[in-house]
Amino acid sequence: MRHLLYIFLLIAGCLPARAQDVHNPLIPPADRVWRSYQILEKNKLAIIQQLDFINNFPKTKDDFVAVFDPDDRKQLHYVYDTYLTALEEAGKVLPDSVLKTGIGICKQMKWASGVSDRLQHVVLVVAADNPEIFVEQAYKLKRKELEALIQYLADVESNPLCAIYQKLLKNLHDAGAYNIEGMLLRARGSGH
C-alpha cells in the first residue's frame, strides 16, 4: 500500500510541472533527471528522494553530456548547476552512491570549463569528505579508467578547487591510500 501511495505522489507531483516543458521536449535521460528533481525539490532531506535522484542521474559520459551539455545548449544545460548542487548535497547522506555515479561519468570525461568543471567539483568535494569510499570505488576501475579519472580530477584550475584537491590528498594520506594519493600528486605535478 505504501508503494502505491509513493507512486501516486510521484505521478501527481510531476504532472503540473511537466506541462511547462512542452515547447522544449526532453530526451528520456533528461526527463528522468528532471522528474526526480521535481520530487526531490519538495523534500530535499528525504533519503528516498535523494536516492531516486541519484538513480535517475546519468551514469555515462555520453548521457551526462546529452542531458547537461548538448551542442544545441538545450535539455538541462542552462540549469545544470541546480542539478549538480543537488547531487553534491545528496553526497552528504549517500556518498557511496554519489561517488559511484560521479566516478562512472568522470572516468570518461576530459576537463573543460562549465558543466565538466562543476562535475569535477562535486566529485572532489564528496571524495575529500569520504576518502575510503572514493578509494573503494576507484579500485573497482580498470587501470586505464583509473588513470583517466585521476587525470580528470587533477585538472584543477581555480583556487577553491585546489583547496579541495589538497584536502582530498591529505585525507587519502591519513586513510593510508598512498597509491591513489601518489597517482593524484604525480598527475598534478605533470603540468595539470
> Rg of the Cα trace of the chain?
17
State whether 103 and 80 are in the same domain.
no
Distance of alpha carbon 182 from alpha carbon 164, whole angstroms: 16
Distance of alpha carbon 167 from alpha carbon 39, whole angstroms: 33
State whether 177 and 143 are in the same domain.
yes
State whether 127 and 113 are in the same domain.
yes
Angle at 148 between CA 187 and CA 64, to 5 degrees: 130
State whether 68 and 117 are in the same domain.
no
pLDDT digits (tens, 9 = 90+) for 168-183: 999 999 999 999 999 9
State whether 1 and 55 are in the same domain.
yes
pTM beyond 0.75: yes
pLDDT digits (tens, 9 = 90+) for 41-56: 999 889 999 999 999 9
